[in-house]
Amino acid sequence: MKNKKYSIESEMVHADQPENDPFGAHVMPIYQTSTFKFDSVEDGRKFFAQEEGGGSHGYSRLGNPTVDRLEQVFAKMEGENIAEDVGALAFGSGMAAVSTALLAMANQGAVIAQPGLYGCTGQFLKEEAPELGIDTHFLDLNDLETLDQTLQENPDVKVIYGETMANPTMSILNIPAVAEVAKAHNVLFLVDNTFATPYHLRPLEMGADMVIHSTTKYLNGHGTLIGGALVAKQSVIDEYNVALFRKNLGGVTSPFDAWLNLNGLKTFTLRMQQHTKNGMKVAQFLEEHEAVKKVFYPGLDTHDQHELADKLFEKGYGGVMSFELKGGYEAGVAMMDQVDFCTLAVSLGTVDTLIQHPASMTHSVMDAEIRQQAGITDGLVRLAVGIENVDDIIGDLEQALEKSKPEPAMY
């Protein structure tokens, strides 16, 4: 490809094609090397001084051709329509991206975050970050008045942190509105866009300053790696020395994982289309089922933020949802023991359908009362709908729900 701009869907299919491979490789090779040779002392000096004309690479923690290619694609996916230069950094996990971004951008200051964050992000902000001098105010970011007031009362706040679509109720962040408040107070607005992905939502276009991903999920899509990314205007990455923090905290990704991710990105658009189509059908099926009390999926008009979701999302709502069983804890356990086609596993965004029951699995060690407060009721089931034939997914859920139904007396 020369300089012409092609659609992002087409560019994704070409995601793993190198720009200038010395051997003319069609697919980006895995540059599985720790270090790189310099032609001369002067070449090496220029590289480390970041001067023009030096070697392009010196050491794989600082940069690697396979990883560079992945970062270019991430930048394009989230930043396609941003006029300014957009940059991306790839990480060895989503949490490396989250913690590096927060340490770089909120240091010597405070954070405002939504209460229902991804578990490890919440734990980092509640337990580790305060020991490093970063305190967090937890509040519903969509409550703009409280957000504004908290910012007025706490001039030390540097970062507002939210998730564009979040567990357990698939809550939706009002990105344009929060971005406006953030701008008015001159604080940074960081969002985790893992659930929605740039297929559905591009937060940079809506005023967010940085987008973070666990690439472990939809961006890779095949459940074969742990990875993370952040994307922002290059001027923001530079101003907060985020690349320097990554270099010295060291949470880089490996060339092999970068290559796996490039391979996964080729089918990203196609995968998301199918996740989205299947997600809606499965949500509608669950909503109709007599053993199900409530389904949390932004595409349903029973979702309490359906209107907002409809305004922000143009192409559907992806494949992640949760639902509550009338039969509570026992029904959840019985259903998990009955699923045959769906895979009993945590995580999301893989091509196959994953299901889990937080109360008896991921959150079983949590105090029952705290679990309830976090919205994780005893009968709550998490479902990440895959790209299989939707009849097989629904058929499996149907037989598992049938066998998990409590005695009729309970209704």
Ligand X SMILES: *Cc1c(COP(=O)(O)O)cnc(C)c1O
Residues at the interface with ligand X (CB under 6 A):
93-95, 98, 118, 120-121, 163, 192, 194-195, 214, 216-217, 226, 228
Nearest approach in angstroms of CB 228 to ligand X is 5
- The Cα 353–Cα 319 span in angstroms is 9
Nearest approach in angstroms of CB 230 to ligand X is 12
- The Cα 263–Cα 317 span in angstroms is 24
Nearer to ligand X, 98 or 393 (CB): 98
Place of tokens 């299919």: 13
Count, residues in the chain: 411
Query: Which sign, positive or negative, has the C-alpha torsion 370, 163, 387, 310?
Result: positive
Token digits for 132? Answer: 């490093």
Nearer to ligand X, 18 or 318 (CB): 318
Cα(first)–Cα(last) distance of the chain, in Å? 62
Nearer to ligand X, 79 or 349 (CB): 349
Nearest approach in angstroms of CB 406 to ligand X is 31
- The Cα 181–Cα 247 span in angstroms is 32
Nearer to ligand X, 214 or 322 (CB): 214
C-beta nearest to ligand X: residue: 94
Nearest approach in angstroms of CB 319 to ligand X is 13
Nearest approach in angstroms of CB 330 to ligand X is 28
Nearer to ligand X, 66 or 93 (CB): 93
Nearer to ligand X, 267 or 347 (CB): 347
Nearest approach in angstroms of CB 226 to ligand X is 5
Nearest approach in angstroms of CB 60 to ligand X is 20
The residues near 291 (Cβ < 8 Å, ≥ 6 apart) are 325, 326, 327, 331, 401, 402, 404, 405, 406
Nearer to ligand X, 98 or 160 (CB): 98
